[in-house]
A and B are shown apart, each in its own frame.
Chain A
Amino acid sequence: MQSLPLTEPVLLILLSLAGQPRHGYSILKDVEEMSDGRVVLSTGTLYGALRRLLDDGWIERFEEQESSRGRQAYRLTAGGRRSLQTEVSRMKRLTHLASLRVARKEA
């Protein structure tokens, strides 16, 4: 099972798949775009993370129907989506607390 909190690359991969199923290269580009070029994954890092997420049942792999090449694509499972929501809620609580503390200090 993926340990929480998630690392930034894993979180970005999951966020990339939250919107729609994607194939490997599309995930790479989306992660780079979401992080404004700060997180650029190599293929080794990407497939290591995908393999772990597959093993833990957070994502699933399937053959893309639209593609003539029969490319493999990835999508979130129901369990993966629930876990991602849990992580996002945790981060929301944390940022809310942080903003409260920072505002109190400034006042």
Chain B
Amino acid sequence: MMSLYQWLLWLYPAFHRREYGEEMTAVFCEARSEIEKKGAGTRAWFWLREIRGLLHGALAEHVRSLVGSHPWVLLPTRRFTMHSEFRFPKATPILMALILAGTVLAIEKAQAISASLPHINPPIGPIQPERLTFLPPVLLMFAVAYAAGLIGWMILFALKRSGVHRLSEMQDSAGR
């Protein structure tokens, strides 16, 4: 049965196994030596509890190693917990309104210029579909940019310098 326990420990991430594996085994041995004096029902319940605890613990540790200690910061429903620096800046709506007004003005000016110079812009015939030769390079460019971004994020995550970690650190320091 001890080998089953050690096999289940292998389901944990390597870091956790190195750091706590020996200690967990020692605690389990102490608990088992005490439970062996009791009845079969108690022993069976003990084993079920241990197996369930290890399976649940291993899964939780893998999730933690993937998304960090505080996965809820990734969820948009917890936006209200964000630090003020990460919120939508107040200047953004003004900037967006200015850009929109500029675009509308530019379109109006372009239409006015076009109407005053009809001989320069003869009517265009039916548009013929062209071969989309530019599409594969554009898609490739997006794919490369996405891959580069993903690799960069993974490096930052491994170094614990991703946005998630920085936010967590800021929240911790604000909490203290």
A binds B: yes
Which residue of B20, B30, B55, B171 is within 8 Å of A47 (Cβ)? Answer: B20
Which residue of B27, B52, B70 is within 8 Å of A28 (Cβ)? Answer: B27
Chain A, 5-64, CB within 8 A of any chain B CB: 23-25, 28, 40-48, 50-52, 55-56
Tell whether, in the assembled complex, residue A72 and residue B172 are in contact, meaning their CB atoms are under 8 Å apart: no
Tell whether, in the assembled complex, residue B50 and residue A44 are in contact, meaning their CB atoms are under 8 Å apart: yes
Consensus secondary structure, chain B interface: helix
Residues of A within 8 A of B (CB): 1, 23-25, 28, 40-48, 50-52, 55-56, 71-72, 79
Q: Does B57 sit within 8 A of A, measured CB to CB?
A: yes
Distance (whole angstroms) from the CB of A36 to the closest CB of chain B:
16
Tell whether, in the assembled complex, residue B70 and residue A1 are in contact, meaning their CB atoms are under 8 Å apart: yes
Q: How many residues of B contact A (CB 8 A)?
A: 26
Consensus secondary structure, chain A interface: helix
Tell whether, in the assembled complex, residue B56 and residue A45 are in contact, meaning their CB atoms are under 8 Å apart: yes
Distance (whole angstroms) from the CB of A51 to the closest CB of chain B:
7
Q: Which residues of B sit under 8 angstroms from A56, Cβ to Cβ?
A: 69, 172
Q: Which residue of A lies closest to B30 (CB)?
A: A25
Q: Does B53 sit within 8 A of A, measured CB to CB?
A: yes
CA distance in complex: A48, B56 (Å): 9
Tell whether, in the assembled complex, residue A42 and residue B52 are in contact, meaning their CB atoms are under 8 Å apart: yes
Ordered nearest first, which 5 A-B pairs have the shortest CB separation? Answer: A42-B53, A44-B53, A44-B57, A24-B27, A44-B54
